Structure 1
Amino acid sequence: MYRGLFLIPIFVFFNFTYGQTDPYIIGTILNQIDSEPIEGVKIEIEGKLIEINTNFSGEFKLQNDLVGEYILRVSFQDYESKRIPIVLEGLDLNLGDIYLKRDISVEQQDNLITLTDAELLEDESTSNTLGLLQATRDVFLSRAAFDFGQAFFRVRGYDAQEGEVLLNGVPMNKLFDGRPQWNNWGGLNDITRNQEYSNGLDASDYTFGGILGNTNIDLRPSGLRPGTRISTSASNRTYTGRLMATYNSGMKENGFAYVLSGSRRWAKEGFIDGTLYDAYSVSGQLEYELNDNHSFLLSGIFTTNRRGRSSAITEEVFDLVGNKYNPYWGLQDGKIRNSRERFISEPMLLFNYFYTSDKLNLSLGMVYQNGTHKRSRLGYYNAPNPDPTYYRYLPSFYVNSPIGANFISAEMAEK
């Protein structure tokens, strides 16, 4: 019998790793049109609470500890979202450049809105909220502008002076009534597409605004699509035809960019009887980028708008002569003549300086504007009112007479 000591070897393995971190998903988000980086794009892995936003250079580094097959979702406001299948193996994954395409439904909505000019409204006191209705992509407000604009629709009942419209950061609300005059740049849809709208009391980068919100229209050529655009359209509303042409040079190597745009809108007679329409619009912008931080912009806008106005009619008149009836016009020497015409021509010259950096954005602007705003009407001093829809000329005046209904005179008035 032996007594001894048995030795059992024990092996212990130690694995020390210094500075090891989870792998990254890396990439850069660019605009498909001009290959410019897009800041603030949301990058997320579907089904996992892992997400990040791109920086000012459009770059992202999404850290994760996942292994397997997943879907990477890339989304940004007004752009089509992308779902990218990825396979994670515990290593860094570089996706390179990812291009986002602008949502075509947004562009369609932009076109829909710009067809509804503020000059469609009939009375100066009511040409108020349609401009702000045009400036937003909100579905409800867009439909309200297109369908109810001529019915004097008001957002929350507010007047247009409660909102603010700016060109390159310079307020365009008139000094005498506080309302913007959208005719001053009407017909220049191609150069006024870049609109940033703040609803209600939402924070804005350009102004303190008002309770109806504010809209800033950016006219810089560098923010518009380069190239030539020619379009024509036909309408059965205020005008019957429109021609529009725009050329954008794009940013040149010498730092210059320019835009030339013009349009013509016309109608011998619009949808409403006797409503002529005659409008010209011409604009030019010259931008110079001194470097990445400093840029200058010189803009000139010249528009003229002449149109015959129409009147709101009562239900009685509507039943008698229909919805196209307009009591303001007649024939003079065999030609249509509207007694109430409005003519607006207020050209403007703008100069702007922009400073942009990571910590500070500065915008300075000056505007010179002068022009004409005229309205006509038929005078009848010491004479009876010539308006055919005057209440004393309607059948209801004789039917509702305080001395008793006179149906013979009512029938004559109807005829």
Structure 2
Amino acid sequence: MQKKLNIMMLAMFCAPALAQTYTDSIGQHSKLEVEAAYTFAEQQLGQNADMPQGVTMVNSNRNVFASEVSYRFAPTHLRFRAYNPMYNEVYINGVLMNNVETGQFRYPTIGGIGIQGLRFNSSLPFESFGYGMTALGGSNNYNFRAADMKRGHHIEWTGANRNYTMGGAYSYATGLSASGWAFAGTLSYRWAKQGYVDGTPLKSLSYYLSVQKKWGDTHSLAFATWGSPSKRAQYGASTDEAFQLSDDHQYNPYWGYYNDKKRSSRVVRDFAPTALLTWDWNINEKTRLSTSLQGQYAWYRCTRLNFNGENPYADSWIKMPSSIYNVWNTADPANTADAKTRWEKACSDWAADKSNRQLDWERMYWFNSQVAAQGTDAMYWLESRHNDNLNISLATTLDKRLTAKSSLRAGFNFATNKGMHYQTINSLLGGAQLHNVNTYAAMHYPSTSDKVQYDLNNRNAALYKGDRMGYDYNILMNKAQAWASYVEQFGMLNYSISARMGYQSMQRDGKMRNGMAADNSFGKSRTKDFLDGGLKFGSSLDMGCGHTLTFGMGYEQRAPLASTVFAAPEVNNDIAANIKKQQVFGTEVGYMYNGTWLHANLNGYYSYVKDASDWQSFYMDNTNELVYNSITGLKKKYYGLEAGLKFDISKTLDIKLLGTISEAKTTNNSQSRYMFACHGTYNDDVLLSKDMHESGTPLTAASLGVNYHQRGWTVGVDCNYYDRIYLDYSTYNRLQQIADGESLDQAKGKGGFMLNCSIGRTAHVMGGLLDINLSITNLTNNRTICTGGYESNYDVRQPSTDGSNASLYNFAKNPRKFYAFGTSGMLNITYSF
């Protein structure tokens, strides 16, 4: 009972949790945590595409730090060891579900499924894992079999002032009947007219349905399908100047009033229906074979406001008061009395009325109506960027118990993937038409030039709502992998050896003949192939009396992500120069103690990545030019210490201390090949990336938590501290030729303390179990903790576009940031029977 209450307190940040040992559909026992309705903030789950950070989820029944890191530090998006989320692998019924192109798993696809969908077991980087070689950042497997769902009804209601304000869910599972059938299902809905951030409505429906048939103790066939169709508005980063003038650290520049209603320029529609068929076969008492076939078709589109004129965003640099008066150097000769007067008025206008600092939709419609009357193209329009995906995967796993103290696991998986990337007209905003021409290039080439055409096969095509424009291409991928893992207990030593070998192929298939690459954009590119593989060793030595030493080491070669293999995929078929397989080395040493009243762990780790690659697409803030940047040859180091202590003061009271101090940075200057969309030619340069840190995650974090639990009551208070939060650095400004000998420090965000608390009550009511939980995050309303952001990209050689020789606006001192939410609460009520 004590153990169950402790685990319950771990999940109090979001919802109640139980721990149990269950009998799976084949009759073998497995240990896992049943996580009930985690409600991570949408931006942590990758739903806000403008945020540079992702999320990794890890867990451990034995490691105090790892058991809490995924949600204790969730408000600041702390990533496990600062790893990119591609190093954290997520499986469902043994099928790897990470996106084949980006390498990341999108938690929103299962985030609303609740108690049915968030059942998983987890392995840390050097622990054995039953479905492959454990990833550098850990691996998780979710069990979606109907017979393994907790039997009965589960009703849930949530009220909050976070990314959604209301949510409800109903789940039901029959358990395994005498005839061998099991059924399970979940339906949930989350809604917000406006989330915590202004102008961010949300509607999200989630469903899960599973049926399973078992024949004796030998065979089982399970089918599951799920999806989460949603519509939500994103919010954008902004500068400290904008936050101060608006007196709001959650200022969102992406919306404005239209017909007296809030309208966002960044609206996401997302739906990834998935079907999974799993066959389990108990060949004999010592051998089990599990095979799963998965299919998924994902639709994802995000609207963006584009323009052929003045930047409509109120926080664009040229509209900010500091572009009028040099606030960084009051002695600047440009700071005349007239400039100061205009600066004071601009500041006053920003603060006076919310509509003055938001998008002016009415003005955009008026301008479009004027040019429509003249028969010319719209000046402003909404475009939708689509990233659709079709994936079919097959995975099979053989589990063989060799002796009472050893076992062998082996498997094979294959995936074929078609990523569809294109852009459409969402709305002409009152305009009459738009042509499929490159407005960036139109300023540099005659209107009759092929260079300005996005599609030479349909020259000067007139576009209307729903038509494709700009770019249209597919990324075709095949991926195969074989792996094996041997686990043995040898006296006091427990160890595992894992190995994998894989193959990947990647190809671009262009659907438009771009004028910048007339002979190299339409049709299929050459295929890029990679062979990769790795070897990993993990061990734990039981020293007796609760003391355990752990050690792990691994090396692997990883094929580069398809999202980085092509130099400018929106333009041509070119493969990035010098693209190579990543070489990844990792090692870890740890100590663990489990006593009657004290549980402790201390881990030191070191990882090294060589030949990493990246690809970026960004706008130059001061010249309104689009740039594609392919970066290769990156070398990165990750190292640090993690510690966790849990003191059981009594049967009803425990104290937890958690902390990590880490380093995660690039250790060399890499290679950059970039292209301006207005020219279509490459520029090669050295990127001064040395000593640039991983962004969007605290590299130092600590937590002190106190938990009380007795007679169905649970109360928890924790104080968290965050520091060393770096922003995503500008790769353009650090090009050797652009920097011209100047050394630029990487911009940082401010850390600080955050106090959270929770209270819950569990009681048996009318034959069922009632859970009521209230959690409050950031009780002291600390709004100055930065959670990420990015530096501006600007051309120092062309500081302005208004004809002047210089700009008073200081881009280097105005990076764009995100800040942690202030005080927010969530009330969660569940009833199970």
Decide: shared fold, TM above 0.5: yes
CA contact 1:278–1:305 (8 Å) conserved in 2? yes
Q: What does the per-residue CA deviation read over 1:115-139, in whole Å, with 9 as the maximum and x for residues that have no partner?
A: 1055544226735224x25x66766
Structure 1 residues 329 and 214: CA distance shift in structure 2, 3 A: same
Shift of 1:186: 2.2
Q: What does the per-residue CA deviation read over 1:51-91, in whole Å, with 9 as the maximum and x for residues that have no partner?
A: xxxxxxxxxxxxxxxxxxxxxxxxxxxxx46xxxxxxxxxx
Taking the aligned partners of 2:319 and 2:302, their CA distance within structure 1 comes to 26
Shift of 1:297: 0.6
Q: Which residue of 2 aligns with 1:129?
A: 55
Q: Are 2:71 and 1:164 aligned?
A: no
Q: Identify which range, 323-332 or 351-360, moves more after superposition.
A: 351-360
Q: Which residue of 1 aligns with 2:214?
A: 289
Amino acid at match of 2:275: L
CA contact 2:13–2:72 (8 Å) conserved in 1? no
Given candidates 109, 130, 134, the residue that maps to 2:10 is: 109
Computing the radius of gyration from Cα coordinates, the structure with the larger value is 1
Q: Which residue of 2 aligns with 1:308?
A: 233
Q: Which residue of 2 aligns with 1:274?
A: 199
Which secondary structure does the structure 1 equivalent of 2:90 belong to?
strand
CA contact 1:267–1:276 (8 Å) conserved in 2? yes
Q: Which residue of 1 aligns with 2:290?
A: 363
Q: What does the per-residue CA deviation read over 1:170-210, in whole Å, with 9 as the maximum and x for residues that have no partner?
A: 11111111111112222101112321111123221112132
Taking the aligned partners of 2:71 and 2:342, their CA distance within structure 1 comes to 41
Structure 1 residues 264 and 215: CA distance shift in structure 2, 3 A: same
Shift of 1:338: 0.8
Give percent identity, aligned residues only: 24
Cα RMSD, aligned residues only: 2.4
Correspondences of 1:36-185 after superposition (within 5 Å): 80=1, 103-110=4-11, 112=13, 114-120=38-44, 121=46, 122-123=48-49, 126=52, 128-130=54-56, 132=57, 140=65, 145-146=70-71, 149=74, 151-185=76-110
Amino acid at match of 2:312: P
CA contact 1:119–1:182 (8 Å) conserved in 2? no
Amino acid at match of 1:272: V
Q: What does the per-residue CA deviation read over 1:100-119, in whole Å, with 9 as the maximum and x for residues that have no partner?
A: xx603324534645110555
Given candidates 306, 330, 339, the residue that maps to 1:379 is: 306
Structure 1 residues 326 and 147: CA distance shift in structure 2, 3 A: farther
Q: Which residue of 1 aligns with 2:139?
A: 214
Taking the aligned partners of 2:210 and 2:174, their CA distance within structure 1 comes to 11
Q: Which residue of 1 aligns with 2:253?
A: 327
Q: Which residue of 1 aligns with 2:340?
A: 407
Shift of 1:161: 0.8
CA contact 1:116–1:145 (8 Å) conserved in 2? no
Shift of 1:141: 5.8
Taking the aligned partners of 1:302 and 1:310, their CA distance within structure 2 comes to 24
Q: Are 2:273 and 1:340 aligned?
A: no
Which secondary structure does the structure 2 equivalent of 1:379 belong to?
strand
CA contact 1:128–1:161 (8 Å) conserved in 2? no
Q: What does the per-residue CA deviation read over 1:369-403, in whole Å, with 9 as the maximum and x for residues that have no partner?
A: 1131001111112x122222222322333224765
Taking the aligned partners of 2:277 and 2:305, their CA distance within structure 1 comes to 41
TM-score (norm 2): 0.36
Choose between structure 1 and 2 for higher RCO, CA contacts under 8 A separated by at least 6 residues: 2
CA contact 1:183–1:305 (8 Å) conserved in 2? no
Q: Which residue of 2 aligns with 1:29?
A: none
Taking the aligned partners of 2:266 and 2:232, their CA distance within structure 1 comes to 9
Shift of 1:408: 2.2
CA contact 2:41–2:163 (8 Å) conserved in 1? no
Amino acid at match of 1:267: A
Taking the aligned partners of 1:147 and 1:412, their CA distance within structure 2 comes to 44
Q: Which residue of 2 aligns with 1:17?
A: none
Shift of 1:223: 2.0
Which secondary structure does the structure 2 equivalent of 1:371 belong to?
strand
CA contact 1:262–1:282 (8 Å) conserved in 2? yes
Taking the aligned partners of 2:252 and 2:233, their CA distance within structure 1 comes to 10
Shift of 1:246: 0.4
Given candidates 149, 155, 180, the residue that maps to 1:230 is: 155
CA contact 2:50–2:235 (8 Å) conserved in 1? no
Unpaired runs of at least 5, structure 1: 1-79, 82-101
Q: Identify which range, 167-176 or 285-294, moves more after superposition.
A: 285-294
Shift of 1:221: 2.4
Q: Identify which range, 238-247 or 384-393, moves more after superposition.
A: 384-393
Q: Identify which range, 186-195 or 396-405, moves more after superposition.
A: 396-405
Structure 1 residues 151 and 390: CA distance shift in structure 2, 3 A: farther
Taking the aligned partners of 1:281 and 1:127, their CA distance within structure 2 comes to 24
CA contact 1:191–1:224 (8 Å) conserved in 2? yes
CA contact 1:117–1:182 (8 Å) conserved in 2? no
Q: Are 2:320 and 1:390 aligned?
A: no
CA contact 1:119–1:183 (8 Å) conserved in 2? no
Taking the aligned partners of 1:407 and 1:124, their CA distance within structure 2 comes to 34
Shift of 1:317: 2.1
Q: Are 2:187 and 1:257 aligned?
A: no
Taking the aligned partners of 1:376 and 1:144, their CA distance within structure 2 comes to 33
Amino acid at match of 2:272: E
Amino acid at match of 1:221: A
Q: Which residue of 2 aligns with 1:248?
A: 173
Shift of 1:359: 2.0
- Greater percentage in strand: 2
Taking the aligned partners of 2:72 and 2:250, their CA distance within structure 1 comes to 16
- Greater percentage in helix: 1
Taking the aligned partners of 1:136 and 1:117, their CA distance within structure 2 comes to 22
Q: What does the per-residue CA deviation read over 1:342-384, in whole Å, with 9 as the maximum and x for residues that have no partner?
A: 1110101100011345422322100111131001111112x12
Amino acid at match of 1:404: A
Amino acid at match of 1:366: L
Amino acid at match of 2:255: W
Structure 1 residues 244 and 355: CA distance shift in structure 2, 3 A: same
Which secondary structure does the structure 2 equivalent of 1:181 belong to?
coil
